[in-house]
Amino acid sequence: MKTILTTALFLLVIVGFSKQVPQKYFVAFTDKNGTPYTITDPQAFLTQRAIDRRTALGIPIIEEDLPVNPAYVNAVAALATQVITRCKWFNGITILVNDSSSLLPSIRALAFVKSVTRVTTYDSTTSSLGVRKFRLEEELSRSGGNHQSEVPGSIQNYNYGPSHGQIHLLNGDALHNLGYRGQGKVIAVLDAGFQNVDVTPAFDSLRANHQILGTRDFVTPDSNVYHEYYHGGMVLSTMGGNIPGHLIGTAPKACYWLIRTEDAYTENIIEEYNWVVGAEMADSVGADVINSSLGYTQFDHGWMNHTCADMNGYTNPSTRGANIAASKGIALSISAGNEGGSSWTCISSPSDALEALSIGAVDSLGNYAYFSSYGIVNGDFVKPNIASDGWNAYVAGPDSALLYGSGTSFASPINAGLMACLLQAKPTLSPQQLYLAIEKSASHYSHPDTLLGYGIPDYSKALEFALVNKIGKVNFSVYPNPFKDSFTISVESNITGNFEISLVSITGDILMKTNRMIGAGGGNAIQLNNLNNLVPGLYILKISSGSNTEYLRLVKIEK
């Protein structure tokens, strides 16, 4: 009997150890052939507001916008345990697989499957990175109590109370006083959860006026974002909060979509893929601005990790998604990260995206906040782009208390709300024009650095630049853009030298490289031909000479 019992226990242990832990994978498809969706019928996959935004900015609807082929999805779904999300920009789906050893070979064998990439590592180990990802905001937040108004209000103007400083630092109150408070603009907030936003008094105006347009959870689709992590609610309060005499957000009249893409308790690269799907949703519902107070550097398991060298503007999954979102006409404000005092130090993805504004943190006097991640200055590639108040910013907590909180998590939405107000004043601005107007208004525009980028913006000046059209590329421009099989680079007359010109895909692959000498006297134009073999989508044109580099966004369309 003893021998039999011992054998049974041994077999039980073997079975226990051999049981596989469910994992998630991203399955990329080879094409969108045979899809029932067409670019001539965009109403099937885009709202009218999203279509109108593209029309106003001259942005074409291309194959990249088409949803993934439902037939491909169904074929994989028949083999996988569950389909989690669908990603049209990356043309693939995220799936859950209970037994990867038996199921993955069959999925990889499907003719239309391009690749299968593991995006989680779930095991019994507690996530040390997950529990620390919002550490700074939690440790440096303290009760704000009841404060007397610091700035008297009036019928016309807001009574900001303690929140005045974080808005006035960027001269955002000047926009408010002109009536630009975000009316008619939609901000998508990508975050880890919005606990108690449905009951917190700071958001009673948003609820009463139906300014929260909807919610979505891409981490746990059947969950309620109002029951999840509280970080997103604190972020939202700096934009949409409205407690006269205490807390006024930077865009209190804007409308909001609350989108959960982040699992606060783990750190797996699937969260970057969730981020991209969240940005896709923001595009499809017609958002004008995305705020993301999230960042990706290192993960629970090292094989997923990024390096500081990866923060080059176009490599990591969320960065690629951010660039695509901007190509659809959405302006992005993204926190640079809180790693300035850590071993990592550098900015995180997707704040490194070429087509997004990366936001560093300062205090209420405009001094660099010690925790704000270090960036890079390399010609036209400046990160962070600007800085905003992220040290003792005034926010609303999930228990209805008003708090002082620190982190670039708050610097970014303070800026994002004012971006929406500026777009309200000048709705025809492209994201690139909007960014440039903001950067040109900033305190360090003529001498950007790796801590504050171009410095602290002045939104009153940015409004002036935008209204009188004092914005545009300085050295290079490209036409036509979008292009079909060729385009021409126009060079300003004061530019001379030997330039390296590279065409880079959104995944970071160098597709073409050439060197051209640009002489003095003006009239220089460089034509690049025979590009009809490129698939439609977003591309980056990199033009560099020595330490100076400029990046231009290009869109390839069907011939």
* pLDDT tens column, 223-264: 999 999 999 999 999 999 999 999 999 999 999 999 999 999
- My answer on whether 218 and 109 are in the same domain is no
181 belongs to a structural domain: yes
8 belongs to a structural domain: no
Higher pLDDT pick, 8 / 538? 538
Q: How many whole angstroms separate alpha carbon 80 and alpha carbon 457? A: 49
Burial of 277 (0-12, 13-18, 19+ CB in 10 A): buried
DSSP 65: G
pLDDT tens digits for 316-336?
Answer: 999 999 999 999 999 999 999
Residue 449 lies in domain: 157-467
pLDDT of 146 reads 35
Q: How many whole angstroms separate alpha carbon 1 and alpha carbon 218? A: 52
CATH number at residue 167: 3.40.50.200
pLDDT at 10 over 90: no
- My answer on whether 404 and 533 are in the same domain is no
374 belongs to a structural domain: yes
6 belongs to a structural domain: no
Q: CA gyration radius for the chain?
A: 24
Inter-residue contact 52 to 283 (CB < 8 Å): no
Higher pLDDT pick, 249 / 10? 249
- My answer on whether 183 and 295 are in the same domain is yes
Output the average pLDDT for the chain. Answer: 88
pLDDT tens digits for 133-152?
Answer: 776 665 555 433 333 334 43
Closest residue by Cα to residue 278 from 335, 368, 215, 198: 215
- Hunting for tokens 């504050």 — which residue is that? 452
Inter-residue contact 159 to 245 (CB < 8 Å): yes
pLDDT of 496 reads 75
pLDDT of 537 reads 76
Inter-residue contact 328 to 283 (CB < 8 Å): yes
Higher pLDDT pick, 184 / 530? 184
- My answer on whether 454 and 505 are in the same domain is no
- My answer on whether 107 and 212 are in the same domain is no
Which tokens sit at 169?
A: 């630092």
- My answer on whether 225 and 359 are in the same domain is yes
Q: How many whole angstroms separate alpha carbon 196 and alpha carbon 203? A: 10
pLDDT at 294 over 80: yes
- Hunting for tokens 């957000």 — which residue is that? 249
Would you tell me how many other CB atoms lie within 10 Å of the CB of residue 475?
Answer: 16
DSSP string, 27-55: EEES--TT-S--TT-GGGTS-HHHHHHHH
Domain termination site, one of 436, 467, 498: 467
Higher pLDDT pick, 552 / 393? 393
Number of domains the chain is built from: 3
Inter-residue contact 273 to 119 (CB < 8 Å): yes
Domain termination site, one of 61, 88, 118: 118
pLDDT tens digits for 48-79?
Answer: 999 999 999 888 899 999 999 999 999 999 99
pLDDT of 166 reads 97
| Percentage of residues of the chain with pLDDT beyond 70 | 86
CA–centroid distance for 24 within its chain: 22
144 belongs to a structural domain: no
Taking the model in full, what pTM does it have?
0.85
- My answer on whether 304 and 432 are in the same domain is yes
- My answer on whether 95 and 170 are in the same domain is no
pLDDT tens digits for 104-135?
Answer: 999 999 999 999 999 998 764 556 665 567 76
Task: Kindly compute the dihedral angle of the four CA atoms of residues 422, 426, 427, 432, in this order, to the nearest 10 degrees.
Answer: -70
Q: How many whole angstroms separate alpha carbon 279 and alpha carbon 190? A: 8
pLDDT tens digits for 29-46?
Answer: 999 999 999 999 999 999
Q: Tell me the Ramachandran region of residue 286: left when phi exceeds 0, alpha when psi lies from -120 to 50, beta otherwise.
A: left
Angle at 65 between CA 63 and CA 68, to 5 degrees: 85
pLDDT at 194 over 70: yes
CATH number at residue 533: 2.60.40.3080
147 belongs to a structural domain: no
- My answer on whether 177 and 311 are in the same domain is yes
- My answer on whether 400 and 330 are in the same domain is yes
pLDDT tens digits for 482-530?
Answer: 788 888 887 765 667 788 899 988 666 788 898 888 776 555 678 888 8
177 belongs to a structural domain: yes
- My answer on whether 312 and 367 are in the same domain is yes
Identify the sign of the CA torsion 281, 415, 452, 374. negative
12 belongs to a structural domain: no
Domain termination site, one of 400, 434, 467: 467
pLDDT of 58 reads 85
pLDDT of 18 reads 41
- My answer on whether 307 and 439 are in the same domain is yes
